Structure 1
Amino acid sequence: MGRKLEENLNFGETESLGIAMEKEDDEIYGIKADEMKKEKRKKKKIKGEEENQNLDFSESKKKKKKKLEESQTIEIPEKKKKKRSKAEGSSEEGNGALEILEEKEKKKKKKKGSGDGNSLENGEQKHGKEREEFEANGAVVSGNDTKESRYAALTSFVESGLPDEVLECCKNFRRPSPIQSHAWPFLLDGRDFIGIAATGSGKTLAFGVPALMHILRKENRKTSKRAVPLCLVLSPTRELAQQIADVLCDAGKPCGLKSVCLYGGTSKGPQISALKSGVDIVIGTPGRLKDLIEMGICCLKEVSFVVLDEADRMLDMGFEQEVRSILSQTSSARQMVMFSATWPLAVHQLAQEFMDPNPVKVVVGSEDLAANHDVMQIVEVLEDRARNDRLVALLEKYHNSQRNRVLVFVLYKKEAARVETMLQKKGWKVVSVHGDKAQHDRTKALSLFKEGKCPLMIATDVASRGLDIPDVEVVINYSFPLTAEDYVHRIGRTGRAGKKGVAHTFFMQENKGLAGELVNVLREAGQIVPASLMKFGTHVKKKESKLYGAHFKEIAADAPKSTKITFNNSDDED
């Protein structure tokens, strides 16, 4: 009867669709075909108008379609589901998938932002108050009460509200650099601070301007010359100490503040005279500073603003005991500031001992090892005996006019002298900077290179960190450094201030233990990884602690200090 009705109503196409849908329904829901046919016959036996019968059939078809769509939605792969939900706009399945996707994205960003090991478990730590961590303007900020409006990043120098004489040193800049805009609000408020930012990012003024304000705000400061300083800046190398001193001397002049630079390798006489004549800021290397303290010449008892610049490098160079001794001479009510490219165990322990339990930490960019993307990195695997000829060939390529600045890095002091002599014999005008040279000669060589009078310089790693040498177009690593971190700092001497640079590196068999880290640096920067380098493998050795070896746990900067547990004596003990 049903079939005759369909024929009379001219439903040939509808019948074929219904049969197809029945077959699909049989497969999806597992309902037997015979049972479906019996159910259909029963429905069609119901008497009624032709229109009502047509309506019943249409309604049944809609229900089948709905069931079919629901079952298909379940079986559709995730990618297709996302496409369908996008096309359909507001389907429940699509919205649910998007919500899950957004949640995963948030977690991913949070994990990336907190990759500095600066938070415990869920990024929060109970230590008096909840430690906040958030991402703002490309920087990750963590610490207590860091979201308060008074700590908002500065967008202009005027917004800082600092006196004109203090901002005189910033007149050549349009706005604060990222590290300055985040650091100043905290430092001007007297907070202990840890800053991590790429070299050449304006770190000197990031701590220099707050240091000037700290001195000017001291109520007991007299207008006459001071016998003891109020601010101390520690630096790992003489060259970096001199560079910091140059910046702070210029910045302090409009404010009437005086700075002195103390470093070894030169006569103590002029430095002693400068200290006796009165000083507000002392910039120095740990060795010379400790000597002058022990001589009773330099008194740090009133120092209440202390900066450790390149703290990790300072400890790597073996100055940990000197640094601890110097810090113990400063005021107990000091404000501590640390800038460090990496955060090893020794630096953390130093911060834990001399800083507040929860210092503010600002990471601009990333704490992960990453090279400047404006530098084109070229790595060649060479044998030792081939390096001299290859170096000369590269100098003929990059330094043919002998005008553009080329910086050649070597590993050891004797190697620097040997390469310098070799190039001079071949007719190249070259200077060098290394530890065996007298400080006067080192300063003169660096000056000739900076001024462009001798734009070819050989240097050990004393010139790899912190030094602001303008317009270095090419860096050549004649010897690969001892760590991948030093490699990143070396090539960071070029490609500065938005300019492009080239770093050409010689890699030898003896450096194979660092191949994996070098490959990671190259890949992160989107550089070509030579097949000859891949032969050494891509394994990355676990960092070792000098005290505890390879089996040690990295500790977050804000980890709480250990507490001493005292057990009460029990009278019930046998």
Structure 2
Amino acid sequence: MGRKVEEASHFREPETLDSSEKHEKGTKKKKDRNKESENQTLEQSNGERVKRKEKKRKELNSHEELEIELGEETQTLEKSKKRKNKQKNGEEIEELEIKGVIVSGNNTKESKYAALSSFTESGLPNEVLECCKNFSSPSPIQSHAWPFLLDGRDFIGIAATGSGKTLAFGVPALMHILGKKKRKTSKGGLPLCLVLSPTRELAQQISDVLCDAGKSCGVKSVCVYGGTSKGPQISLLKSGVDIVIGTPGRLKDLIEMGICSLTEVSFVVLDEADRMLDMGFEVEVRSILSQTCSARQMVMFSATWPFSVHQLAQEFMDPNPVKVVVGSEDLAANHDVMQIIEVLDDRARNERLVALLDKYHKSQRNRVLVFVLYKKEAARVETMLQNKGWKVVSVHGDKAQSARTQALSLFKEGKCPLMIATDVASRGLDIPDVEVVINYSFPLTTEDYVHRIGRTGRAGKKGVAHTFFMQENKGLAGELVNVLREAGQIVPAALMKFGTHVRKKESKLYGAHFKEITADAPKSTKITFNNSDDED
């Protein structure tokens, strides 16, 4: 009996092993099939990836072949690339990006418009280049602008303050005047060139540069602006000048008095055109431009290209002017400026300002510029600081021009290195070695904020901008956050509480329902409706 059990047991053992082996073999086959399926899927995926890479490689090769076909001219522009081709009235509008400089307009690729690498390459006479003797080479805006301006092209330039814009239009203006005088195509004594500026201080600064540049080649300039006696300005105009630099209000007064005639002006510059129109000078600007020669060369420099500036370009420039953008048209702050934003209550600002001056201006030797929003606010803050023992000057619209000029001079020379200013000092002014900017009041626009803090961190130096932000400024919080992030600055949590919404830009005429317009957009067509007797 036991033997039978043993035999049975012995007999059944091999059956159990066979079944186990079969199960293992089945599992292995299943795994092999799954692995084979996975391999096939992987191969298909790899095949598709290879196909995509091959397609991309062909596209890149095609792109390289296209660049080669552009010819020798494209090869001479290092790191250049053709960005866009726009069709307008059957003509090709070219746009090129050259080392961070965007050039657009008709026929901008011609060899005669190649950017200049040196002053001698320009071929200008020594007496004209005398004003550039302290510079090793043209700045980017100068090197790209001069070829077009010297060829008589209408021109739009967008570049940061301190980039050499004054000589960018100043040197071609000198050449334009010398050419007119040589050909004797104008009446002697009448101005041939006009430069309009939004503020008196910027007009004076431009005048200083152009007067100095004109000495070596016999070109005379006069600066006209309000807030001071007209007598000296009238005397200079009557003695005969070649260039008139001025603010729109005073210049319009002199034209209406019959003192200043612009009938021979054939080279016109609008500097900081966007700011000029923001300050309400549009009517005066249009009136002044209508007095100039119809066959004129128009030059506009603007920090942005808003609708109002585009309208002026449409009316007073060629349909397709050359446009050169150095850097970016997008709102961006100088990365050499450390931006500190402090959200606080209105009543805490005075005490906090004094504390910051103790921190930043303890030696009372370094230049600190404090921006406020209104004229009365400037006077109040100046008085408050003087009562606390600070030596301070101010620049604002309620001050006589002589007092403004003196204050600015004391600040520039370092005799009084603490100044309170409204936004008359936020644009265009070249004030050296401002170490700290304090925004006691946030400006009305983020563009003005960028310009304000741009008074420091100039010429490769580092600067600090400390800004007070209040509840009433919350509508600009989103734009400010974007500016801070773009520059890699710290965004305080208190600022984020106002939200990051960015308001749509609005046109003064058309509100929020308008479209940003490029420089080469077609001119509008006037539509005339016939009168109908059937109308009620």
Normalised-by-shorter TM-score class: 0.7 to 0.9
Q: Which runs of 5+ in 1 are unaligned?
A: 1-14, 29-64, 76-80, 82-90, 106-120, 570-574
Q: Aligned ranges for residues 106-121 of structure 1 at < 5 Å?
A: none
- The residue that corresponds to 1:527 in the other structure is 489
Say if 2:189 is the partner of 1:216.
no
Say if 2:359 is the partner of 1:386.
no
SS at match of 2:86: coil
- The residue that corresponds to 2:403 in the other structure is 441
Q: Are the equivalent residues in 1 in contact too, given 2:191–2:243 (CA < 8 A)? A: yes
Q: Aligned ranges for residues 399-548 of structure 1 at < 5 Å?
A: 399-548=361-510
Q: Aligned ranges for residues 270-349 of structure 1 at < 5 Å?
A: 270-349=232-311
- The residue that corresponds to 1:95 in the other structure is 54
Q: Give the alignment partner of residue 37 of structure 2, picking from 24, 27, 46.
A: 27
CA distance in 2, matches of 1:93, 1:446: 63
Deviations along 1:484-521, one digit per CA (max 9) or x if unpaired, are 00000000000001110000000000000000000000
| Residues 362 and 20 of structure 1: CA distance in aligned 2, closer, same or farther (over 3 Å) | farther
Deviations along 1:47-67, one digit per CA (max 9) or x if unpaired, are xxxxxxxxxxxxxxxxxx8x6
SS at match of 2:167: helix
Compute the displacement of 1:552 (Å).
Answer: 1.4
The share of aligned pairs that are identical, in percent, is 83
Q: Are the equivalent residues in 2 in contact too, given 1:226–1:280 (CA < 8 A)? A: no
1:512 partner amino acid = K
SS at match of 1:179: helix
Say if 2:195 is the partner of 1:233.
yes
Deviations along 1:415-438, one digit per CA (max 9) or x if unpaired, are 000000000001000000000000
- The residue that corresponds to 1:50 in the other structure is none
**How many residues were matched structurally?**
488
Q: Which runs of 5+ in 2 are unaligned?
A: 1-24, 65-82, 532-536
What is the TM-score of this pair, normalised by structure 1? 0.81
| Residues 451 and 208 of structure 1: CA distance in aligned 2, closer, same or farther (over 3 Å) | same
Deviations along 1:245-288, one digit per CA (max 9) or x if unpaired, are 00000000000110000000000000000001110000000000
- The residue that corresponds to 2:6 in the other structure is none
Compute the displacement of 1:563 (Å).
Answer: 2.9
Compute the displacement of 1:554 (Å).
Answer: 1.7
| Residues 381 and 566 of structure 1: CA distance in aligned 2, closer, same or farther (over 3 Å) | closer
Deviations along 1:307-345, one digit per CA (max 9) or x if unpaired, are 000000000010000000000000000000000001111
- The residue that corresponds to 1:203 in the other structure is 165
Deviations along 1:461-481, one digit per CA (max 9) or x if unpaired, are 000000000000000000000
CA distance in 1, matches of 2:53, 2:482: 38
Q: Are the equivalent residues in 2 in contact too, given 1:194–1:362 (CA < 8 A)? A: yes
Q: Are the equivalent residues in 1 in contact too, given 2:368–2:418 (CA < 8 A)? A: yes
Compute the displacement of 1:528 (Å).
Answer: 0.2
Q: Are the equivalent residues in 1 in contact too, given 2:372–2:420 (CA < 8 A)? A: yes
CA distance in 2, matches of 1:550, 1:284: 33
1:385 partner amino acid = R
Q: Aligned ranges for residues 150-229 of structure 1 at < 5 Å?
A: 150-219=112-181, 226-229=188-191
CA distance in 1, matches of 2:183, 2:260: 18
| Residues 98 and 423 of structure 1: CA distance in aligned 2, closer, same or farther (over 3 Å) | farther
| Residues 200 and 103 of structure 1: CA distance in aligned 2, closer, same or farther (over 3 Å) | farther
1:227 partner amino acid = G
Q: Give the alignment partner of residue 211 of structure 2, picking from 237, 246, 249.
A: 249
Say if 2:44 is the partner of 1:71.
yes
Q: Are the equivalent residues in 1 in contact too, given 2:84–2:96 (CA < 8 A)? A: no
2:485 partner amino acid = R
SS at match of 2:212: helix
What is the TM-score of this pair, normalised by structure 2? 0.87
1:307 partner amino acid = V
Deviations along 1:430-470, one digit per CA (max 9) or x if unpaired, are 00000000000000000000000000000000000000000
Compute the displacement of 1:556 (Å).
Answer: 1.5
**Please, what is the CA RMSD of the aligned residues?**
2.6
CA distance in 1, matches of 2:435, 2:221: 32
SS at match of 2:214: helix
Q: Are the equivalent residues in 2 in contact too, given 1:450–1:469 (CA < 8 A)? A: yes
SS at match of 1:207: helix
CA distance in 2, matches of 1:233, 1:414: 30
Q: Are the equivalent residues in 1 in contact too, given 2:154–2:321 (CA < 8 A)? A: yes
Point out the more displaced range, 221-230 or 181-190: 221-230
Q: Are the equivalent residues in 2 in contact too, given 1:225–1:277 (CA < 8 A)? A: no
Compute the displacement of 1:555 (Å).
Answer: 1.6
SS at match of 1:187: helix
1:151 partner amino acid = Y
Deviations along 1:334-364, one digit per CA (max 9) or x if unpaired, are 0000000011111100000000000000000
| Residues 224 and 337 of structure 1: CA distance in aligned 2, closer, same or farther (over 3 Å) | closer
